[in-house]
Amino acid sequence: MDKNFHLFVRRYPGLGVAAHVLTHPHLASFASDLNTARLDLAEVVGRLLRRGELWDEVTHWEDLRQRRMALTVRAMQHGRLLPVPLRLTVVTHGGRGAARTARKGDAAKGPLRVWVPRVGVQGTLHDTADLESYVEELVRHELYLAPLERLHGLAYVGEESVETLSVPSRVKQTSKARSEEESSKQPRRLPPPAGLAEASRCLNEEARAGLLERAWERDAEVARLAEAVTASTRASVLLVGPSSVGKTALVHELVQRAEAAPEGHPLHGLEVYSTSGGRIMAGMRYLGQWQERVQRMVEALRVRRAVLHLDSLSELLSLGGGDTGLDVARHLLPALEGGEVALVLEATPEDVARAERTHGAFLQALRHLSVAPLGAGAARTALQQASQRVARARKVRFTGDALERAAELTERFGDGPPPGGAVTLLRSASTQPSPTGEVDAAGVTQAFCTRTGYPRELVDTSVRLDPEALLRRFRERIVGQDEATLLLRNLIVTLKTGLADPSRPLGAFLLLGPTGVGKTESALALAEYLFGDTSRLARFDMAEYAAPGSAARLVGEGGGQQGGLARRVREQPFGVVLLDEVEKADAGVHDLLLQVLGEGRLTDGTGRTVSFRNTVVLLTSNLGADSAGRSLGFGGGSVRDLEQHYLGAATAFFRPELLNRLDQVVPYRPLTPDVIRALARRTLEAALAREGLTRRGVKVSFGEDVVEYLARTGFDARYGARPLKRAVEQHVVTRLAQWLAGHASAPPAQVVLRVGAEGTVELG
């Protein structure tokens, strides 16, 4: 017998598909395609059905409708209210005499149930004519004075739809006898009290649904955590470890062991609820509201002897403060010190160091439990165990070399502490197994390349990389800068051979030279080769960060706001960061770079650590460019002289500790006449290959006179080759466009460009 559910689906082009059960939002999946997400959800929901859950709940309606609705909400940023337009999908059921046909004042027959899935709110409306006003109130109440970043996260404009998921189950588990049998096997559980249900989710329910991960090779840490939260004098615990080391998995393992514990065991009947600072504050609009919610949670935890899990210490400490000086953490402190409640929080070492300055008493009330990355042997064992779970869930089989390749790639490219990154990679690879249902090393490598953008020849040890061919490729793109192209080639060869330092960025270089000689083009070429897309280049003009305190805009200011640099690298850790004219930035920005270049990480405004270990960091500067011509001559000077000149200029300006964290200072030469002509020819050829000409079958030829003309008119000693594109547009593209417009019906197949008697480009 099948049971139908509604799925709310969002499609992210190039990334994947997110889907969740409309009536049970915690049943969710993110996968590369909709079919994989449906299979994931069908497996989880099927287990619940076979256990007798969900059968008696109404989860599907034939009259479900959806519509798009536009509204504007306001966000707080830097003490200002900013309007943010949103276009949301609204799903409705019931209310015969639907909203689209009702007139003002006409009540529909029966209530109308309303969902706004992207915001996570729902309600019931009796007058369907008021639907738009009702949705607006629901959304604005939920998002009242929300941070701008949260609203940007909701500003999804892609395709959304509601699909039907039919889940078969061999036996309908709703008979009285089966219910009594199941209840006899489980400890009797009370429904979650309102104080916990309104702002947290029960991890025990998710464990019974098979939604929680296991913590392999962590018996000692789980035992210490269990002892702390179950002893007669209970203690709250702070799990301290680097990001993605497995802190949340420890909590999930504790819950699963509690679910399996026999009667009489200390863990038997233990309940764990999970929340976050954001969920505690959600919907709180007035003074005293959040304090009342926290107090209700404390009372419920005290009565149930339950444990509350929060996944971010920094987020908790940043919420609820203000002129009163009482934030959420300080409000919880008395209950913690008295042992009335047990909390389990997560933090990185950086979070703890920062919290010691502002919330020392709160930290002292917690028992600190260090969670270190697994050693190589334990990580391989944990990967083997975790892979078996993934294989059963995805109905695939991983070969031995697939596990080795997953471990090798994640260790080599620093993609999270082991084995978490390798397990994630195996899940990605399992979406496209071989026809026999097997995933081998090649499949894992392909999945890694798809996720990161790295070319196969870079990450696959069985594929040869030709250094000379790579050098030729860069020299065709970056003309006349032999030192720079050697740098790019050597960087990639180092990555290929696995000799790069995994604790630092992939590369950190200072590019010095005049404007318009190829520094930005080098960054684009590197991003295109490494990640297959120039959009992987994140460019920041450091002249915009010259004012004192500007560094906060890069990492994010208070109130949980992420900065531009931190947000960009967190969203896409595999990329190239270009900090243009870095000498113009405030000294605080240079201090920030010490952490990025030296340790490969950055702590953002939300307190989370952003990893730069899969990022190439390029700094550019014009320092020394003005005096280079006088000291070295136009385009002259040996390589050694050029390096010494620019290194001297950099040493005179930048602090030694910043320069010492760079891999290399790279000089760029002024452009010689030959290089300028080569750039003019390449820019012209690129313009003549545009779709408007190729579609019409028009071939345009030109001679050296045109190249010389463009090189002469498109070069400026102050701006290098940058005006070349403008010259080509003005003198060639515009004339071609006018000429094509005049021959729209039948343009000639051949056109010749030449420099006329008046010294301008003409068509013939």
Give pLDDT tens digits for 465-497: 999 999 999 999 998 899 899 999 999 999 998
> Who contacts 34 (Cβ-Cβ below 8 Å, separation ≥6)?
9, 11, 17, 19, 163
Q: Which two tokens stand for residue 340?
A: 């009335």
Residue 605 and residue 618 in one domain: yes
| Consecutive H or E run containing 114 | strand 109-116
Give pLDDT tens digits for 76-130: 666 677 788 888 899 998 875 444 443 444 444 568 899 998 888 888 888 888 8
Residue 348 and residue 425 in one domain: no
pLDDT of 629: 54
Residue 242 and residue 231 in one domain: yes
Q: Which two tokens stand for residue 41?
A: 């959800």
Domain membership flag for residue 242: yes
Residue 348 and residue 397 in one domain: no
Cα separation of 187 and 225, whole Å?
22
Of 119, 150, 184, the one marking the end of a domain is 184
For residue 285, what pLDDT band results from cuts at 50, 70 and 90? Answer: low
Torsion of CA 245, 250, 252, 257, to 10 degrees: 150
Residue 97 and residue 20 in one domain: yes
Of 125, 157, 184, the one marking the end of a domain is 184
pLDDT at 51 over 80: no
Instruction: Supply the CATH number for residue 584's domain.
Output: 3.40.50.300
Domain membership flag for residue 459: no
CB atoms within 10 A of CB 522: 26
| Residue that wins the pLDDT comparison between 632 and 315 | 315
Domain membership flag for residue 634: yes
pLDDT of 559: 42
For residue 286, what pLDDT band results from cuts at 50, 70 and 90? Answer: low
Residue 473 and residue 612 in one domain: yes
Domain membership flag for residue 460: no
User: Which domain covers residue 596, as residue numbers?
Assistant: 467-667
Domain membership flag for residue 567: yes
Domain membership flag for residue 422: yes
Give pLDDT tens digits for 216-253: 899 999 999 999 998 877 789 999 998 878 899 999 99
pLDDT at 324 over 70: no
3-state secondary structure of 633: coil
Domain membership flag for residue 457: no
pLDDT of 531: 92
Give pLDDT tens digits for 334-355: 888 888 889 999 998 888 988 8
Residue 215 and residue 193 in one domain: yes
Torsion of CA 348, 353, 357, 361, to 10 degrees: 60
pLDDT of 142: 78
For residue 191, what pLDDT band results from cuts at 50, 70 and 90? Answer: low
| Residue that wins the pLDDT comparison between 435 and 190 | 435
Residue 383 and residue 361 in one domain: no
pLDDT at 148 over 90: no
Residue 7 and residue 129 in one domain: yes
pLDDT at 633 over 70: no
Residue 359 and residue 384 in one domain: no
For residue 328, what pLDDT band results from cuts at 50, 70 and 90? Answer: confident
Cα separation of 689 and 695, whole Å?
10
Say which amino acid occupies 180.
Answer: E
Residue 729 and residue 658 in one domain: no
Whether the predicted model's global pTM rises above the 0.95 cut:
no
> Structural domain tally of the chain?
5
Domain membership flag for residue 107: yes
Q: Distance between alpha carbon 193 and the CA centroid of its chain, in Å? A: 35
Residue 661 and residue 686 in one domain: no
Instruction: Supply the CATH number for residue 738's domain.
Output: 1.10.8.60
